[in-house]
A and B are shown apart, each in its own frame.
Chain A
Amino acid sequence: MQRQSAREDILFQPLRSNSIGFYLFCAFLLAIIGWAAYAYYIQLRDGLVVTGLRNYIFWGIYMTNFVFFIGISHAGTLISAILRVTGAEWRRPITRMAEAITLFALTIGAPMIIIDMGHPERLPNLLLYGRLQSPILWDLISVTTYIVGSLMYLYLPMVPDLAECRDRLTDAPNWKRFVYRVLSLGWRGNEEQKRRLERGVSIMAITIIPVAVSVHTVVSWIFGMTLRPGWHSTIFGPYFVVGAIFSGIAALLVAMAIFRRVYHLESYLQEKHFRYLGLLLLVMDVIYIYFTLSEYLTMAYGNEAADQGVMQMLFVGDFAPIFWTMILGGFVLPGLMLALPNLVKNPSPSSAPLLNLRPLAAAIALVVIALVTTAPGVGASADIQMATVTPVLRLIGIIAAIGGVFWVMLPFMQAHPIGTVVTASVLVNIGMWLKRYIIIVPTLYNPLIPIQNVPTEWAHYTPTWVEWSITAGAFASFILLYALFSKMFPIVSIWETSEQKPELPAGGGTRG
C-alpha cells in the first residue's frame, strides 16, 4: 500500500464513491432512454409509418446515427492501437478512454440497424438467407468481428488495473469485488503472466488496425457498391475511414475534456495531450476536406444527369443549408481554430489599444455574416450560377467575416488552448453527423427510377418525433454506458501511467 500515490488516488476516487450529482445525471439519462423506449414501442406497435421513412426515402437519421457511431468507434481502437504500435509515450493516459468509446459506440451504433427495420424479428433471415456477395452481410461479419476484437482490446490492458482494484478496493460492495476478482484472472504480475499479457496486447494492437479499417470500409461499401448517384464512388472506402478517424479523435477530445473536469484528472490529461490530439485532428480535417473536394468536384464536373440532381440539392437546393453548415461550420471553422493559434504569434502587449477595436470588429463581422446569409436568393436559386457577381461578393463577404471573427477571437483562443480544441471537436462531431445525413438522404431523393405511384409528400423526408426521441435515447445510452464504465473501472490506465517505463507492474499479491 505504500506505493499508492496521491496521484493514483484521484483515479480510484470515482470508483469509491458516487456523488448525488452522479445519481441525478443518471436519472436524467434514464428518463431520456425511457422516453426513447416509449417511442420505439410506438414504432413497433404502429410500424415505420410513425417515422418519416417511406418507400423511396427508406434510410434517414437511424442510418445516420449508425454510420456516426461506427465512425466515432474508430476513436479508440485505431488511435490507441496506432499510438501503441508506434510507441507514442504520450498516449498512456488516453488509451483506455479511447478504447471504451469504441466499445460503447459499437454497442449503441450496431442496434441502430435493427431499429431501422420495420420487422426486427426478421433479423435472423439475414443469417438464414444472407448472401455472401452482399455488402450487408460483410457489414454484419466485420462489425461482429470488430465488437469482439475491441472488447478484447479494451480488456487486455485492463487486467493489471483490475488486480489493483481487487487488492485496493477492499471496502467495495461484494458484487463489485466479485467482478474485479473474476476479471483480473488471478493476476499476480509474475514473469509468465507479464509475458503472456504483453504478447496478447501486441497481437491485438496489430490485428485490430486492419479490422477497424475494414469495418468502416465495409460500411462505406453498403453505399459505394450501390449504383446510385452520390454513392457509387471508388474513394468511399478511404473517405469513410478518414472521416471515422476524424470524428473519432473529436469524440475522444470531448470525452477527455469532460473526464478531466469531472474527475479532476488535470495531472494526467495535460495541455500537451490536447495539443497533440488537436494537431492530429487538424491533419485529419485537412485530409477530409481534400477528399470532400475531390469527391464533389469529380461528381459535379461529370455533369451526368443523375449526379446533377444530387449536386443541385446539395449546393443550392433543399440540402444547401445543411451542406454549407457542415462544410463551413464542421470542417473549415474547426480547421482554422486548430491551425491559427499555432501559426499566429501572440499579440504584443503594446498593441493593447488595438484590442479595444476587437469588439467593434466582431460586431461588424457578425453583421456581414447576417447580411450574407440572409441575402435574397441564398438557397433559393435552382441553378449553380458561377458566372454572376453576387455569389463572388457573398464568398468574399463570408471569408472576410470569418477572418474578422478570428482576428477578434485569436487572443482568447491562445489563452484557452484546451477550450479551443474541444470547441473545435464539438463542431467536428456535429459536422460529421450532418455529413452522414448528407451522404444518405439526398441520394435517396434521386432514385434511378423516378419517384412514382406514391403520395407526393413521400418524396420528402422529415424525421418525426419518434426518430428524434430514439436518436436522443441512443446518445443518452452511450453517455450512460460510458459514465457507468468510468464508475466501475479506472478510466485512466493506472499501470501504464504510474511508471515511465512501459513495463507491466507487479500486482498486489507480490506486494504483501
Chain B
Amino acid sequence: MANRIVQLVGIAALALVLTMFAQTAWADDPPGAKLFQTYCASCHGEAGKGGFGPAIGTEKFLGGHDDASMIKTTSEGVAAKGMPAWSKANGGSLSDDQIAEIIAYLRSLSPGSSSTVATSAPTAVPTSATAPTVAVIVQSRLTLAQATGKNGAVVLKATLTGEDGKPIEGAAISFSRATSFGNLDLGSAKTDSQGLAALTVAEVPSAARQVVAAFKGDKSSAASKSALRLEPSDQAVAANGAEVNNAQLSMDEPLLSPDGSLITPNPPLVPATLFVMVVLGVWSIYALVVYQLFRVRKAGVVENKVNTLTFRQ
C-alpha cells in the first residue's frame, strides 16, 4: 500500500511538472497570439484581460482606439505608466510587422470593434471612471508644466480643468516620478481657484526624469493623469523650502535587464528542458527504489506460499 501511495504521489508530481511545461508550448494559435503571450500577457493578462497593465483585449478598449494609435503606443511606449517602447527603432525587441500582428490578434478578440476610431486624443488619458452611479461625471483634463521658482528651483505646475475648460478647485494632485520599478512619491498639492497645483522641487538631478501628476477623480470629475519629462539642469539647487521632497528625484534609475528576459512568461527552453530532465531523473530513481520495495513484498509473499505448501505436505 505504501509503495502504491508513493507511486501515486510521484505520478501526481510528475504530472504537475509536465502540465507546467505544457503551458509553455503553444498550439496552432495565430502568430500574433504567440507574440502577445510572450511579450504582453505578463502585464496585460491572458487575452488582454488586464492585470498590472490595462485591459486592452476588451471591446470597450478596442472600440475606443484605432490601429494607428495602438501601434504608436506599442512602438513608443508610455514611460509614465511603465509601458516599454517595443519597436526596434525605439530600442525594443519587436519588428513593425510583429507589432502589426499583435494588434491584429487583439482585433480578433473583439471582431465588432472598428479599427479606425476618430479620437480627440486628449493629452490626459482618462483612466477608470469612478462611481458610475453618479449621473454627472465630467471628464477632467490635467496638464503638467515646468516653471522656475525662487533660487532657480523647479516648480511642477499641474492644471486641472473640466470638460468645459473650467478649472477644478480643491482637487488633490499627487506628483510622482515614474521608474521602471514603480512610482516614487514626490508629494501632493491641492488645486487653487485657477485649477493650479504647484510643487517645488528644490534639486534637479543631472539626468532627465519622467514626472507624473495624477488626479484620482472625485464625485463629479473623472480621474486623469499627465506626464512630463523633467530636463536635467546644470545648477542643482540646495533644498531650503518646507515643501521639498526630492531625494527620490536624484536617485538613479534601478538597472533592469533591457530586453525583458525576466518579464517573459515563458522560460528559455534549453535551461528549462535541462531542469525538467534533472527533476524527472530524480523521480525516476525514486520509482526504481519503489520497484525494489515492490519486489521485497513479492519475495515475502512467495515465501509465505512456499511455507504454507510445506506445512500442508
Contacts and interface: CB of A to CB of B under 8 A. Distances in A.
Q: Do chains A and B interact in one complex?
A: yes
A149 B282 contact: yes
Contacts of B3: 185
Contacts of B303: 186, 188, 190, 509
B121 interface: no
Contacts of A199: 292
Contacts of B9: 148
A227 B266 CA distance: 21
Nearest to B184: A449
A190 B248 CA distance: 75
A359 to B, nearest CB: 57
B304 interface: yes
Contacts of A133: 262, 267-268, 272
B300 A449 contact: no
Given A127-B16, A145-B13, A145-B283, A196 B6 contact: no
A273 B117 CA distance: 82
B310 to A, nearest CB: 13
Contact of A185 (B247, B254, B288, B296): B296
Interface size of B as a range: 35 or more
A286 interface: no
A1 interface: no
Nearest to B21: A132
Contacts of A204: 289
A216 to B, nearest CB: 16
B182 A196 contact: no
A159 B288 CA distance: 17
Interface stretch (A38-46, A150-158, A437-445, A492-500): A150-158
A423 interface: no
Interface in A72-122: none
A203 B300 contact: no
B128 to A, nearest CB: 19
A187 B267 CA distance: 47
B1 A182 contact: yes
B286 A152 contact: yes
Contacts of A144: 13
Contacts of A452: 184-185, 248
Contacts of B301: 186
B182 A187 contact: no
A203 B288 contact: yes
Mostly helix, strand, loop or mixed at chain A's interface?
Answer: helix
Interface in B274-313: 275-276, 279, 282-283, 285-286, 288-290, 292-293, 295-297, 299-301, 303-304, 307
Interface in A475-490: none
Contacts of A127: 16, 19-20
Given A148-B286, A185-B300, A207-B285, A156 B1 contact: no
Contacts of B296: 159, 185-187, 192-193, 196-197, 200
B203 to A, nearest CB: 15
Contacts of B10: 148
A450 interface: yes
Contact of A186 (B19, B288, B304): B304
Nearest to A153: B289
Nearest to A207: B285
A512 to B, nearest CB: 11
Interface in A367-385: none
Contacts of A509: 303-304, 307
B17 interface: yes
Interface string B180-212: 011011000000000000000000000000000
A13 to B, nearest CB: 26
B27 interface: no
B90 interface: no
A227 B285 CA distance: 35
Contacts of B266: 131
B115 interface: no
B297 A130 contact: no
Contacts of A187: 296, 300
Contacts of B265: 131
B2 interface: yes
Contacts of A132: 20-21, 24, 267, 272, 275-276
B1 A449 contact: no
Contacts of B267: 131-133
Nearest to A198: B292
Contacts of A156: 289, 293
A452 B184 CA distance: 8
Contacts of A141: 13, 17, 279
A148 B289 contact: no
Given A133-B267, A192-B295, A151 B6 contact: yes
A186 B300 contact: yes
Interface of A: 127, 130-133, 137-138, 141, 144-145, 148-149, 151-152, 155-156, 159, 182-183, 185-188, 190, 192-193, 196-197, 199-200, 203-204, 207, 211, 227, 448-450, 452-453, 509
12 contacts: A137-B20, A148-B6, A148-B9, A148-B286, A155-B2, A187-B296, A192-B295, A196-B296, A197-B296, A199-B292, A449-B254, A450-B184
Given A196-B296, A509-B304, 6 more contacts: A133-B272, A188-B304, A192-B299, A196-B299, A199-B292, A207-B285
